[in-house]
Amino acid sequence: MSGIVEGRVVIATGAARGIGRGHALEFARQGAKVVVNDLGAEVDGTGSSDAAAAVVEEIEALGGEAIVNGEDVSDFDGAARLIQAAVDRFGDLHVLVNNAGILRDRMLVNMTADEWDAVIRVHLRGTFAPLRHAAAYWRAKSKAGERVNARIINTTSSSGIYGNPGQGNYGAAKAGIAGLTVIAAKELERYGVTVNAIAPAALTRMTENLAPGGTGADPDDIAPLVVWLSSAEARGITGRVFNVRAGVISVAEGWHAGPGVDKGGRWDPAELGAVIPALVDKAAPNALTDGRIPGRED
């Protein structure tokens, strides 16, 4: 098989179903060798299955190469074994796609500590741990004088970068992933590694309860952007977050300083009543959950 990532070795986490499955299959169609990582758990993170093996069978039926990996990406040592598994089987690693995640939605007044911890662990720690071990692998290669042309693509969400009620745990984790993406991009650029993130919208097991009538974008439509970001053509793109739904792609613009005032000294709290409301009135409103800023047509 040939394509824009021909010969590259890719790890895709959470790749047994939904968006991750779409990634794995498109990478294979485009010539990559794929490590299909997944525990095969339910949406809430419980249980297990051999769903990843079915994806590997699909890839092999396409004429591609792939292996199953069942490591828990939120386990630090397990994440190290995941990176090593790719190197042991295919001789190298070029791309890491952090996609694994779970949901335990609850309004804040009812959320338990366990529901908070489980989601933060899988999403945020489960992004950090593979990223950290992959970064160390590529840094070692770079320091040894080898040319590195590697990619990391993380998965954030509109719930994190724009906000969505009922998903405080999920949104906090996803906002953290967006922030980690920007920081990692700055740290790893010197080693030949780009780091970007996507905020996808599609109908999957994780979103079907949010889509009345079971309608929504095809999860397979997310993969083309991820595969392109993993290619040699994307070497100049790093530290960015992309919204992607079906055929629509946009760049998510992060926090930046808006209207401000400098007194030149320490404020008295009593003075701020005449200052802060005026600044907020001048500032753009927070984006809606779909990323649009109210009152702006563009």
Q: pLDDT for 23-57, tens place per residue?
A: 999 999 999 999 999 997 455 545 456 889 999 99
Query: Are 49 and 145 found together in one domain?
Result: yes
pLDDT of residue 42: 58
Mean pLDDT of 56-73: 97
Beta-bridge partner residues of 68 = 36
Query: Are 43 and 65 found together in one domain?
Result: yes
Q: Pick the catalytic residue from 162, 174, 230, 231.
A: 174
Q: Supply the CATH number for residue 224's domain.
A: 3.40.50.720
Among 194, 80, 171, 84, residue whose Cα is nearest residue 123? 171
Query: Are 201 and 293 found together in one domain?
Result: no
* C-alpha torsion 157→33→71→241, nearest 10: -20
For residue 44, being part of any structural domain is answered with yes
* Higher-scoring residue by pLDDT: 297, 120: 120
Query: Are 98 and 199 found together in one domain?
Result: yes
Query: Are 177 and 200 found together in one domain?
Result: yes
Query: How does pLDDT run across 123-175, given as a tens digit for each residue?
Result: 999 999 999 999 999 999 999 999 999 999 999 999 999 999 999 999 999 99
Among 66, 80, 176, 197, residue whose Cα is nearest residue 122? 176
Q: How far apart are CA 99 and CA 106, in angstroms?
A: 22
The domain tally of the chain equals 2
For residue 76, being part of any structural domain is answered with yes
Go through the chain and tell me how many residues it has.
298
Q: Write out the residue range of the structural domain in which residue 148 sits.
A: 9-252
* Higher-scoring residue by pLDDT: 219, 216: 219
**Is position 158 annotated as part of the catalytic site?**
no
Query: Are 181 and 213 found together in one domain?
Result: yes
For residue 2, being part of any structural domain is answered with no
How wide is the angle at C-alpha 35 spanned by C-alphas 92 and 177, nearest 5°? 95
Q: Pick the catalytic residue from 157, 158, 159, 231.
A: 157
pTM for the complete prediction?
0.91
Model confidence at 267: pLDDT above 80: yes
Mean pLDDT of 93-112: 96
**Is position 230 annotated as part of the catalytic site?**
no
For the chain, report the end-to-end CA distance as a whole number of angstroms: 40
Mean pLDDT of 226-233: 97
- Asked if residues 53 and 35 have their Cβ atoms less than 8 Å apart, the reply is no
**Is position 162 annotated as part of the catalytic site?**
no
Query: Are 163 and 280 found together in one domain?
Result: no
